[in-house]
Amino acid sequence: MIIPLENYNGRKIVENGQLCERKNGRGVDINRNWSLDWGKKEQDFDPAEEFPGNAPFSEPETRIMRDLASSFKPHLWINVHSGMQAMFTPYDHKRDLPDPRVAEPMKLLLQKLNHLHCNNSCVIGSGGSSVGYLAHGTATDYMYEVLGVPLAFTFEIYGDMEAPNEDCFRMFNPTTLETYESIVTNWSMAFITIFVKLETLFYLHGLCSCRGKMMVPSLEGSSTLTKFLLLGTQLELGSGTMMSRPSLSSLYYFQLLTWPSFGIYT
């Protein structure tokens, strides 16, 4: 299953010229509106930048995503952003890693992806320990800790770290067609790599039994898909996502691959 765009109203705000805006149409950062550790504020909290809403799941976008994920309990969640080159595991709201029995296979997968698809230049680690700040009420932490999704990641697939702070378009988007097409191809192939590695992660590392909340589907009759893989993306649409040409948020409209009885959600 694919969620190509979560923050529709926020995207419209950006398209109308507010290139650094990251919130939805109601002024809420929807990646701070999930219930896990919701509302906690760090010393540098700026409500103009990351207002979490008046209550957990106050926003229709987060309620829709929560209900959709809860309806079929995905085995994989990948939340796709832009702004830097990185692949993060939980947690965002603290600097801890998940249980070592889960963290180790997560790390092995991300190291493989880093080598094959990121020139070994992606930052790898928990969001809270790697990105430079703690984020509370995020989707990835909720999916892992509350819903029990065995593999939950946040991918940052592009970022111009030399762009000035006021140039949000350049900071979050490739500025040439060649770079854009390279990102689309490379990260699409990264998802194929993930799917190829799923059997090893689930069956050899026993991720589902480790989490204790989800049943791994049988491999019998695995030659065809019984569910779409859910690759949905949530780029930083309020921070200058592609407007004048096809957006990176459409990156995973395609590449629906085969895997037995898996719903994969990002």
Query: Which tokens hold the place of 127?
Result: 């969001």
Where on the phi/psi map is residue 112: left (φ > 0), alpha (ψ -120 to 50), or beta?
A: alpha
Provide the CA 256 distance to its chain's centre, in angstroms.
17
DSSP for the chain, written as a single string? -----S-HHHHHHHHTT-TT--S-TTS--GGG-SSTTTT---TT--HHHH---SSTT-SHHHHHHHHHHHHH--SEEEEEE-SEEEEEES-SSSS--S-HHHHHHHHHHHHHHHHHHSTT-SEEEEHHHHSSS---S-HHHHHHHTS--SEEEEEEEE--TTS-TT-HHHHHS-SSHHHHHHHHHHHHHHHHHHHHHHHIIIIIS-HHHHHTS-PPPP-TTTTS-SS---------GGGT---SS--GGGTTSS-----TT--EE-
Q: Which residue among the candidates 6, 21, 59, 156 is catalytic per the annotation?
A: 156
Q: Tell me which amino acid residue 199 is.
A: E
Q: 61 catalytic, yes or no?
A: no
For residue 203, is the peptide bond before it cis, meaning its omega torsion is within 30 degrees of 0?
Answer: no
Catalytic site positions: 156
